[in-house]
Structure 1
Amino acid sequence: MNIYDRLLKFATLRPRSEKEILNWFKRKKIDSDLQKDLFNRLKHLNLVNDLEFTRWWIEQRNTFRPMGVRRLKVELALKGVDRTIIEKVLDEQIKPDEQKNYAKRLLSQKIDHHEKLDSLKVSKKAFEFLARRGFDFGLIKEVIDEFNLKE
């Protein structure tokens, strides 16, 4: 299997960011002239597009592993996506009420596991859990208050 075929396999398994493709080139120790050629081929095939990658990433996260906007921003930045693209797609796809629903859903799953703890411990664990998932503190407080938990 030649390098182009391996690159196509890598790039078509799921959408990729430009940085992921460039990191793949580094791991495979591909010289810079060939990198440019291969990268341009992928661009021509629309297999490298940070805007589409960002849309896909956020959709996947919201569907399978909901998290807050802060965490999404960090993940996408680590994938090498430009901040302006991240902000644009988040504004398109994430609404404040959706974030609240994601937080509620996650919290309702988490609370079931800690039913026997007193409410202060449950509240602390819930707050920490949602904070780790990247939700804003105001939203966390609002969701916890709706669950009638003390902070």
Structure 2
Amino acid sequence: MIPDLIPAAGSPWSLLPPGIHPASLDEVSARFATNHWRRSLFDGLVDASNLLRNAGCPTIYLDGSYISGKPKPGDFDACWDPTGVDPTKLDPVFLDFTNGRASQKAAFKGEFFPSSMTCADVGRTFVEFFQQDRFTGNQKGIISILLQTDPLLTGKVQP
């Protein structure tokens, strides 16, 4: 279950409390795909999640203003666990970081980084970097989604 957003002093929007919060894509949809624009971003996330799942990716981590109280986020940010990913099945767009990741944004309306890749600006992996609020430097939460068992991707109906 995704916890409630909390006010964050110094940050313009409410945020998830610190930690990595497991959720399904359906839970992400119910909480954050609350208007036409946010639904459009969510649809891009699902498209990318399917591609990553098909390449063997076990988990993605969702971050950015999409999972905050910002009324109209520009995009979403995500990183993906490369453990078990078959490079021959991975869409090359996930490794294209040119032009501000323009190809990823065009394909999915969001950005993706390998979770173990180091963010050069801060010297930490993306999964670590994503847990820090860019406005205050304080810890904040992100969402993890298990792709291999997610009901939306596997076609399983939840009870």
| TM-score, scaled relative to structure 2 | 0.23
Q: Whose radius of gyration is greater, 1 or 2? A: 1
Between 1 and 2, higher relative CO (CA 8 Å, sep ≥ 6) is seen in 2
Decide which structure has greater strand share: 2
Decide which structure has greater helix share: 1
| TM-score, scaled relative to structure 1 | 0.23
